[in-house]
Structure 1
Amino acid sequence: MNQMTLQQAIAPLNLRSCLISTRGELTFEHYRDDRTASEIAKINSCTKSVLSSLICMAMDQGLLPAPSSSVAEFFPQLRRDPDTRKQEMTLEHLLTLSAGFRWSEFGGLNSFPKMTRSPDWVEYVLEQPLADAPGIRMEYNSGLSQLLSAILVQASGMTTARFAEQYLFGPLGIEEYQWEADPQGIHTGGFGLKLRPADLLKFGQLYLQQGRWEGAQLVSRERLARSVTTAMHAEAPRRGGYGWHWWTDSYLLAASDGKPPAAIPFYYARGYAGQFIYVLPEPQTVVVLTQDNKRGKNNPPADVFSEHIAPLFVNPNWL
């Protein structure tokens, strides 16, 4: 497969964008139209991975304590909660979505919409009962991302967006963005950020380069590596694992020439309606996909990465 056949394969999918960078060079670029390249758009839960980078930076700078530190250091009301297990919550439990709250993002408890309709999102999250002791299992919970954003505000003395401008967006040359905030003015940790596709590619490239950008180490190599390493198994029906607000997985290559099948590990940011940033340490590739197709359970969006892009890596010289 080559660039032309890839272009033909994705043409019917109505993607907003598909960008591929290999070894630091843009090797494939597709936009739905001329406007898409320059306009910012919602990245939905990919916001979580951006927040993860900011938390790592704050830890590197000594603004935040170790990942094993108690969340109650930032929210003392947890020490007064009748369920004393809440005092066991750590920063890492928030990052790995394993804090133990009884929460279903959509459907069931419908926790996420209820949070966004509440007058104080942070208090809403903290007041939820526990279903498990912290650290037992992953439960997808954008409320935990909101707690992390609030913690970053406490630790840094600036808004989450201002911290991002100073330590991430500025160095990467990201000049235009929009970021929603809760009623207390805390920027949304789990969603609500708008960026251009090319800026998502820069963010992925920063991670591929192990936190280094134009000679500066924006995120320490050690902290970055820990953040994208599987910490929890993903909850069904999702596959793979979860690190610090990053998903982890691998693509299985078919056996050939008598060799056993091999797997290409990768990690990725994922947002509702088809927003993705894939980082593949080998073969030194970043893939950005953006869409705006809101399809139901009976008509799920195509898995563009596994169906059309990952097979390209069978042939490392496809470009």
Structure 2
Amino acid sequence: MHTITSHLPAAIASLNPRSCLVKRQGRLLFEHYREPSFETVPAIINSCTKSVLSALVCVALGRGLLPDPRVTPVSAFFPQLKTDADIRKRDMTLLHLLTMTAGFRWDEFGGLNSFPRMTRESNWIAHVLEQPLSEPPGTRMTYNSGVSQLLSGILSEATGMTVARFAEQTLFGTLGIETYEWETDPQGIHTGGFGLRLRPADLLKLGELMLNRGMHGRTRLFPGEWADLAVRPFAPASPPYEGEYGWHWWCGACVPTRKVSAGKDDGNRAQPSDYFYARGFGGQFVYVVPEAELVAVVTQDSRKRKQPDPFAELIVPILAGC
């Protein structure tokens, strides 16, 4: 434990996060809170909400409440797309929503200010569905919190209850998540792309669930097939975003640094480690590195739009010591 996490206090001092938790092979290696209350009070996780929604979609798929997203058109839930002037919208599938490849013309925070505009509308889902397409569905990934709201509405319709209630009955209850807050849109549909508040330890539980491919202890919450697809790279992110995107999870690879004696090469060179992660504005992260059986949570409260990724400073040195 000391060898793996000895660098963390110095890294924590430079980052000054709200919280940092690291768990490997089921053992909590490191736990830090800037203030004692940060351990117990749910805090905003911003776009990490999208990854919670992804897990709930997997649960619904496993229970047969949602049809296969790879072949199910969005129009099955929003029939108005069948009569939209742009016939390409009829080809849009649930998979396109999950991977943000729906084709909508959308600029989350840029010139179109699509996300802020949506939150000022009286009906968010109608607003998103009315947006024009910039390309056919499946062409490329465009970061879009609007499609997350569509997914939230679909999940609510498919399960016959609010997304939060479904989460309580199927996910939160099993994981022991008892305290949370979740915003809704004007129609009472819980926000799919942001607006959820959780404790850092509960975010860690989400990461462990995905690490274990839908298993929590001896309880299977959803089939491993869906867990694998959810965190598999599907499409490269469009600028200014980097990396690849799965089902509302980000995917990446890194090469941990290993120390080699001067003039010697013992053959133990560092190899890339695939990982996936949830990411939220302000510096919220849930990292999962399957090969190392490692899950880490970092939460911050910066107001800067572009956030440094603490993976290199906090997680890579741990991987190097594994």
Residues 259-288 of structure 1, C-alpha deviation per residue, up to 9 Å, x if partnerless? Answer: 555101000000000000001001100010
Give the conservation status (yes or no) of the 8 Å contact 1:119–1:183. yes
> Match of 1:137?
140
Give the TM-score normalised by the residue count of structure 1: 0.95
Deviation at 1:5, TM superposition (A): 3.0
Distance in 2 of aligned mates of 1:109 and 1:27: 44
Q: Which runs of 4+ in 1 moved over 4 A?
A: 258-261
Residues 56-103 of structure 1, C-alpha deviation per residue, up to 9 Å, x if partnerless? Answer: 111111111111200000000001100000000000000000000000
Matches within 5 A, 1:104-115: 104-115=107-118
Give the conservation status (yes or no) of the 8 Å contact 1:161–1:179. yes
**Matched position secondary structure for 2:153:** helix
Distance in 1 of aligned mates of 2:320 and 2:5: 15
AA in 2 matched with 1:207: M
Is residue 310 of structure 2 the alignment partner of residue 304 of structure 1? yes
Residue 101 and residue 301 in structure 1: after superposition, are their counterparts in 2 closer, same or farther (change >3 A)?
closer
Give the gaps of 5 or more residues in structure 2: none
**Matched position secondary structure for 2:276:** strand
> Match of 1:30?
32
Give the conservation status (yes or no) of the 8 Å contact 2:11–2:313. no
**Matched position secondary structure for 1:265:** strand
Distance in 2 of aligned mates of 1:89 and 1:301: 32
Residues 132-190 of structure 1, C-alpha deviation per residue, up to 9 Å, x if partnerless? Answer: 10000000000000000000111110000000000000000000000000000000000
Is residue 79 of structure 2 the alignment partner of residue 70 of structure 1? no
Q: Which moved more, 1:278-287 or 1:1-10?
A: 1-10
**Matched position secondary structure for 1:149:** helix
Deviation at 1:315, TM superposition (A): 1.4
Q: Which of 46, 49, 52 does residue 48 from structure 2 map onto? A: 46
Distance in 1 of aligned mates of 2:94 and 2:307: 33
Q: Which moved more, 1:264-273 or 1:53-62?
A: 53-62
Give the conservation status (yes or no) of the 8 Å contact 2:286–2:295. yes
AA in 1 matched with 2:271: A
Give the conservation status (yes or no) of the 8 Å contact 1:254–1:262. no
> Match of 1:265?
274
**Matched position secondary structure for 2:136:** coil
> Match of 2:150?
147
Give the gaps of 5 or more residues in structure 1: none
> Match of 2:9?
7
AA in 1 matched with 2:60: A
Residue 202 and residue 113 in structure 1: after superposition, are their counterparts in 2 closer, same or farther (change >3 A)?
same
Give the conservation status (yes or no) of the 8 Å contact 1:85–1:133. yes
